[in-house]
Structure 1
Amino acid sequence: MSSPQIVWLRRDLRLADQPAFHAAAKSGPVIPVHVLDDGRAGDHAYGGASRWWLHHSLESLGATLGSHHSRIVLRRGDAPQVLASLAEETGATCIHALRHYEPWWKEAEDELRDALPDGRELCLYDGNYLLPPGSVTTGSGDPYKIYTPFSKAMLERMPPREPLPEPDTIHSPESWPESDALADWSLLPTRPDWAGGMREFWEVGETAACERLNWWADEVASYDNGRNLPSEDMTSRLSPHLHWGEISPAQVWHKLKDKRSEGWRVFAKELIWRDYAQNVIDQFPDYPRDSYRTYDERKLWRNPKMGHLIQSDLERWQRGMTGYPVVDAGMRQLWQTGWMHNRVRMIAASFLVKHLLIDWRFGEQWFWDTLVDADYGNNGVNWQWISGTGVDSNMFVRIMAPLTQSEKFDSAGYIREYVPELAKLSDAEIHDPADSRRGAYPKKMIGHKEARERALAAYAEAKG
């Protein structure tokens, strides 16, 4: 029998179109391994919602591998050291893995190469993005910083490669190394169990991802207009499946590429945005932590760490108690389901950084902890876009009016679902109820006009 092959799994929890699995399965007996390395990512270790999804995704993949008479080996600790030890223990000659572009994973890949015993190698493959980050460049060979020309260049190179099939056969090693029990990792919340809404909202795993894509193929034509209407929620909800690698962007693209609709053309650009975000963090590894543009942050942002009143403002936003119904509906949907409608994400994020003038990084960290699709690149790029601080971003002086947005995009049904205190109000008044009609629902934290004037003044001072 040929030597065992280790497949190092991270955010690539699938068998179809998984180049690392595909190569390993052709080379010898396969030992799939997932290492929970909590310490490596620092302040971007998996948040609560991500840990919930990870548990169920590993559970689902484990069941699929079981149908192939295989399994996942679970280990906890420093990933390079754990994998190097497993290679020595099992006699594996190669560790196969998909490339990841978060700075801690790039560092881990380098450390693993150095830690492997002689005669063993790390084989890396592309497969989490449409094209490898860094491969789409300007005419002078430089990476793109701005989305629009990047998107145009990407479209010229589409479609991506054809997806690989699921391996027909996955041979098992003569003996399996020891594995942790998934339950012992305590990824699921227990005291209290706050995940009931997520269990109702999501189906997790590769099969669920494929079913969702099949459904979306019949609905994508309505995406152009429907994506802006929270009450109709005409979005794919593929983002967590893509983030955790339960389906690949190449699979999605090839499923939809023959569609002839504006909805597909708009959705294609959303897939390209994923690639763009990874290209940004490949150039600027600390982008989700550090503003790209220079200004006096002390004059612009109100720091919750500097006073209990500012901290209280942050907490009211987090709990969905700002007094702006569409903002609060979004924040409550986030807490309940681990996800928020895309249009409302922009409104809620803008409210934090411009109405409340709270540093965008506090929003980035809250979304990191509460989103099931929390992605280091996407999350950082999106927050820096809305805050006007990014390499490619909305201008700070363009301040969203949440009440106008709510009415324009017909959010009444969405508000009724997630802000039940206002459910009996008419469509005409639910977006901005009079104080006498709010009942137990709070008054506005700050008026829109006052917030706008304050934000513009602070920005002018911060720019000098």
Structure 2
Amino acid sequence: MHDKPIVLWFRNDLRLGDHAALAAAVRTGAPILPLYILDDVSPDCWKMSGASRWWLGESLAALSNDLARSGSPLVLRRGNSETELLRLVEETGAAAVYVTRSYEPWAVVLEQRLKTKLGEANVEFHRFGGRLLREPEDMRNAEGGFYKVYTPFSRAFMKVVVPAKAVRPPERVTSLGHQPKSERLRDWSLHPEKPDWSKGLAAAWQPGEAGARARLSDFVRTALKSYAQDRNDPAKSGTSRLSPHLAFGEITPAACWHAAVHAGGKTNGSDKSVETFLKELLWREFSANLLFHFPELPDKPFRKEFAGFPWRKDAKRLKAWQRGQTGYPIVDAGMRELWTTGYMHNRVRMIAASFLIKHLLIPWQSGEAWFWDTLVDADLANNSASWQWVAGSGADAAPYFRIFNPVLQGEKFDPDGEYVRHWVPELAHLPREIVHAPWKGDADTLAQAGVKLGKSYPNPIVEHGEARARALAGYELIKKSP
């Protein structure tokens, strides 16, 4: 039995099951000191924001309870990760620090620096996988570089990937006899007050490892078999809604992979749906690889020519988009779902993002920042790669000249207007034919539905044809630039 403890540093891995660092620490027989540091310093402008902080508070409470039951309470510290970690190691005489790898630019630099500093103090520093199915260094193309296009990446991945099997949470975690000082979770003010805007979040989600496992189980039992079709219909419960659980590491992508494959083996006819779901996990993987190899992804266009795009600064229209007041019902429904629940249906994310970028010519970074503030599943790699994909500036980008018509998109993916009626209740009584384009209704129809354009619901803030022409002109401009 070892006397010196191991500091088990939790970050985006808030679980006990399938936790390689925890399992390895337990195997040593040493006392384990679980630690979480609320670090708003290292990430700088990408520190965790509102909706994510609410989720973090709930998830840490769940993890703290689970650890207490296992025998080793969670220590909470706040401040710079490096400073707090080194301080705790010194306080406790810890022999090692075990941690799950992270891939954000500041996290990569921090891990390298800690390895050096702890090594100088004769303290071991061990990093483990778990946030991804494979480490970014392991995914190389034929030339030895990293993949810049999703399809060859996913093909190569499917040939070699064998996700790790599940590891049960340890029944007992040996604690340090003398517990170091810990802050109180309630003092961190992660739960919003005055006003408390989190009621919609609490109604929609169950953060924590138990919530993640329940969500995965429910998904593979109910929605997986029709996932390929239903995931594009925002009015249906057709998506997995696992993204925030994955973002906080309450469950691993490997666990999601195995559950889907296992369910597909039992469910006749769901192969296409299983494949589609696995490809979504691989898009998450691809995004993390891009961020790891191109750390400027959240700030700078991957395709350099887009640095010269004629973007517009328009605070008034940006605010209309943020508040779901653009006059385009499918866009407004998505933005209001986001504000209420901290989540937006993925198909609608694409439509809303395209509208901001191509209809309003507002830089993709403005949308990325708003999503970062309001999403419970805010993940730097996913967020930046997806916004760049829509903008046409990314590694594997949608063609810039493909400009969604928000009316046709609404009619295609929400044909009965069910999603719009739910999130834009002032349009609830409009007939199906005009629910995605209220301005096409005659005076009597609008009056019967209680809709007063420009008063109860805004007129479109931009006309689609004009916006499309402006966006294409901007695209032509950068095509011609040297």
**What TM bracket, shorter-length normalisation?**
over 0.9
- 2:214 counterpart residue number: 211
CA drift at 1:161: 1.8
- 2:198 counterpart residue number: 195
CA drift at 1:460: 1.3
- Give the counterpart letter for 1:375 in structure 2: D
Q: In the alignment, is residue 122 of structure 1 matched against residue 138 of structure 2? A: no
**1:148-191 CA deviation, whole Å, 9 max, x = no partner?**
00000111123312122211220111111100101111111112
Correspondence for 1:418 among 420, 423, 448: 423
- Give the counterpart letter for 2:196 in structure 1: D
Q: In the alignment, is residue 277 of structure 1 matched against residue 287 of structure 2? A: yes
Task: Give the aligned CA root-mean-square deviation in angstroms.
Answer: 1.3
- Give the counterpart letter for 2:295 in structure 1: P
Q: In the alignment, is residue 291 of structure 1 matched against residue 317 of structure 2? A: no
Task: Verify the 8 A CA contact 2:301 2:393 in the aligned structure 1.
Answer: yes
d(CA) in 2 for partners of 1:80, 1:257: 40
- 2:70 counterpart residue number: 68
- 1:307 counterpart residue number: none
d(CA) in 2 for partners of 1:273, 1:106: 21
Unaligned 5+ residue runs, structure 1? 304-309
d(CA) in 1 for partners of 2:300, 2:471: 20
- 1:175 counterpart residue number: 178
- Give the counterpart letter for 1:456 in structure 2: L
Q: In the alignment, is residue 104 of structure 1 matched against residue 109 of structure 2? A: no
Matches within 5 A, 1:366-405: 366-405=370-409
Matches within 5 A, 1:36-115: 36-115=38-117
Q: In the alignment, is residue 427 of structure 1 matched against residue 432 of structure 2? A: yes
- Give the counterpart letter for 2:172 in structure 1: T
CA drift at 1:462: 3.1
Task: Verify the 8 A CA contact 1:80 1:109 in the aligned structure 2.
Answer: no
**1:390-442 CA deviation, whole Å, 9 max, x = no partner?**
11100110001111011111251111111010011122221111264242100
Give the paired residue count. Answer: 458
**1:285-307 CA deviation, whole Å, 9 max, x = no partner?**
0101101113364652102xxxx
d(CA) in 1 for partners of 2:195, 2:75: 29
d(CA) in 1 for partners of 2:135, 2:310: 37
- Give the counterpart letter for 1:145 in structure 2: K
- Give the counterpart letter for 2:49 in structure 1: G
Give the SS at the match of 1:134: helix
d(CA) in 2 for partners of 1:233, 1:413: 12
Moved more, 172-181 or 156-165: 156-165
**1:344-374 CA deviation, whole Å, 9 max, x = no partner?**
0000000000000000000000000100011
- 2:354 counterpart residue number: 350
- Give the counterpart letter for 1:398 in structure 2: R
Percentage identity across paired residues of the two chains: 45
Correspondence for 1:336 among 340, 349, 356: 340
Unaligned 5+ residue runs, structure 2? 265-269
- 1:159 counterpart residue number: 162
- Give the counterpart letter for 2:76 in structure 1: L
- 1:252 counterpart residue number: 256
Task: Verify the 8 A CA contact 2:42 2:80 in the aligned structure 1.
Answer: yes
- 2:329 counterpart residue number: 325
- 2:267 counterpart residue number: none
- 1:265 counterpart residue number: 275
TM-score, structure 1 as length reference? 0.96
Moved more, 292-301 or 248-257: 292-301
Task: Verify the 8 A CA contact 1:233 1:341 in the aligned structure 2.
Answer: no
Correspondence for 2:144 among 141, 144, 169: 141
CA drift at 1:52: 0.7
